[in-house]
């Protein structure tokens, strides 16, 4: 005997006894998901999986002929919860399909579990170590990576003032991971993409202190770092043969006698000076260092990803990630990849004039916009643009509004989602 609960798909309408247009019907030890419109099947299956998870069903095996790879994946996404993961047997499938799904599940659950870790369990250095471990785990036999973790006072020696200043209020040192995936082995191979991720392992807001309700979810403020690590790992298992560099900018944003203070001015490696007017706008301060490092390594294109602004969440909620860029090619690429990978992405406005809205009387720029009615996500991108030599070309910024759910909804469990991993991973192949 088995303790699996079996789930199959049906193109028939459920019997009226289950309710009008019922999504699910049941028999002993078995459920059917009823799909009336194949065009919306991905969301329907994910929603049905959430309902089954909410019933306390622990282990599921998929059966029947209507399952596709994408629908099996949709079910796995929805059936996941933070306590148990997703105990899903994908069914009787070919070995190559099982390998695709199993690898994807391993990586995505790494992302979700890492985001869900409490802040005491995930210091900046631990996050960097975990990222290295995941990438090493998925490397094909014979391939190796080079990596360096620059920590504490060593950040100053390398000129990475932003990460250092944000993280100096914590007893656990800030750090930057620089990881080089170079499958060709050619030391002169160009860096096709640099991936720059925000890794704030806990964000109290610093002296611009967050209220408790807003602070409770700030273990997730390293979602950009986790998402980009997962994206690179997924690309590797899918056979990526390009050189990629990963930069994780990691710190705890805490209060102490040595913490960053309002009115401080940071002088960056590229000479840009920044007045700190809000210590809760810290993500952009650390990403600036990663963008500088990516350009020092002459990356052809740069993708940064961060849980950067409440403005992005206000604009699109938790259902979409947002993207901001002046490079139309990269925006189109991101949009197409999101559509192909069944992820949701929405473009927010970002133009040259936004870069005039972060002025400071004491420095080149401030870390928040000045005046009222300014677009918070757009001016955050404008801040980052000050650290990109040619922001109009070869750089795209993801503000990951959809990477974390404070509470469950019809498609997602509470906690980390991994939303965005597939989109960015797909972009690396183009």
Active site amino acids: 210, 284
Whole-angstrom Cα distance, residue 139 to residue 244? Answer: 13
| Both structure tokens of 98 | 């099982």
290: left (phi over 0), alpha (psi -120 to 50) or beta: alpha
Whole-angstrom Cα distance, residue 237 to residue 258? Answer: 43
Question: What separation in angstroms does the CA of 27 have from each of 6, 18, 59, 257?
Answer: 10, 11, 16, 63
Q: Which residues lie across from 374 on neighbouring strands?
A: none
**How do strand 193-203 and strand 301-306 relate by DSSP bridges?**
parallel
Degrees to nearest 5, angle at CA 184 with 199 and 302? 35
Give the residue from 203, 173, 388 showing the smallest Cα distance to 288.
Answer: 388
- Cα 175–chain centre separation: 19
Which residues neighbour 323 within 8 Å (Cβ) at sequence distance 6 or greater? 331, 334, 335, 345, 346, 347, 348, 396, 397, 398, 399
Torsion of CA 325, 329, 331, 334, to 10 degrees: -130
Whole-angstrom Cα distance, residue 253 to residue 24? Answer: 45
- DSSP conformational letter for 85: B
Inter-axis angle of helices 69-79 and 95-116, nearest 10: 30
Instruction: Find out whether 313 and 405 touch, Cβ atoms under 8 Å.
Output: no
In the block, tokens 């019997």 appear at 15
Instruction: Find out whether 303 and 195 touch, Cβ atoms under 8 Å.
Output: yes
Return the sign of the alpha-carbon dihedral for residues 33, 36, 42, 43: negative
Give the residue from 178, 180, 170 showing the smallest Cα distance to 201.
Answer: 170
Give the residue from 135, 229, 235 showing the smallest Cα distance to 418.
Answer: 229
- Total residues belonging to the chain: 430
Give the residue from 46, 73, 50 showing the smallest Cα distance to 413.
Answer: 50
């Amino acid at each position: 005997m088995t303790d699996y609960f079996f789930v199959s798909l049906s193109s028939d309408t459920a019997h009226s006894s289950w309710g009008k247009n019922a999504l699910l019907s049941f028999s002993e030890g078995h459920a059917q998901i009823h799909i009336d419109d194949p065009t919306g099947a991905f969301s329907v299956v994910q929603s049905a999986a959430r309902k089954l998870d909410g019933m306390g069903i622990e282990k599921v095996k998929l059966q029947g002929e209507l399952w596709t790879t994408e629908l099996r994946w949709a079910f796995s996404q929805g059936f996941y919860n933070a306590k148990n993961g997703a105990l899903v047997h994908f069914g009787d499938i070919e070995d190559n399909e099982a390998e695709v799904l199993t690898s994807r599940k391993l990586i995505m659950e790494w992302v979700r579990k890492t985001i869900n870790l409490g802040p005491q369990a995930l210091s900046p250095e631990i996050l960097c170590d975990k990222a290295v471990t995941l990438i090493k785990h998925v490397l094909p036999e014979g391939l190796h990576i080079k990596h360096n973790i620059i920590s504490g006072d060593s950040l100053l020696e390398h000129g990475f003032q932003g990460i250092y200043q944000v993280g100096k209020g914590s007893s656990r040192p800030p750090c930057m991971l620089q990881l080089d995936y170079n499958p060709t082995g050619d030391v002169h191979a160009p860096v096709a993409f640099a991936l720059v991720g925000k890794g704030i392992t806990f964000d109290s807001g610093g002296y611009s202190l967050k209220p408790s309700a807003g602070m409770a979810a700030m273990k997730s403020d390293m979602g950009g770092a986790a998402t980009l690590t997962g994206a690179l790992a997924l690309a590797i298992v899918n056979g990526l043969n390009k050189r990629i560099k990963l930069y994780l900018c990691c710190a705890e944003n805490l209060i102490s006698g040595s913490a960053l203070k309002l009115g401080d001015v940071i002088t960056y490696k590229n000479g840009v000076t920044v007045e700190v007017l809000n210590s809760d706008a810290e993500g952009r301060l650390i990403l600036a260092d990663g963008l500088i490092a990516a350009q020092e390594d002459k990356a052809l294109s740069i993708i940064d990803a961060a849980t950067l602004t409440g403005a992005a969440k206000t604009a699109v909620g938790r259902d979409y990630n947002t993207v901001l860029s002046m490079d139309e090619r990269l925006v189109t690429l991101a949009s197409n990849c999101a559509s192909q990978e069944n992820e949701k992405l929405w473009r927010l406005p970002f133009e040259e004039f936004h870069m005039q809205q972060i002025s400071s009387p004491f420095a080149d720029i401030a870390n928040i916009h000045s005046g009222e009615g300014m677009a918070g996500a757009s001016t955050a991108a404008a801040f980052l643009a000050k650290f990109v030599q040619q922001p109009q070309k070869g750089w795209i910024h993801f503000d990951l509004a959809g990477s974390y759910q404070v509470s469950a909804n019809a498609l997602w469990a509470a906690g980390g989602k991994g939303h965005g991993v597939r989109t960015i991973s797909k972009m690396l192949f183009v």
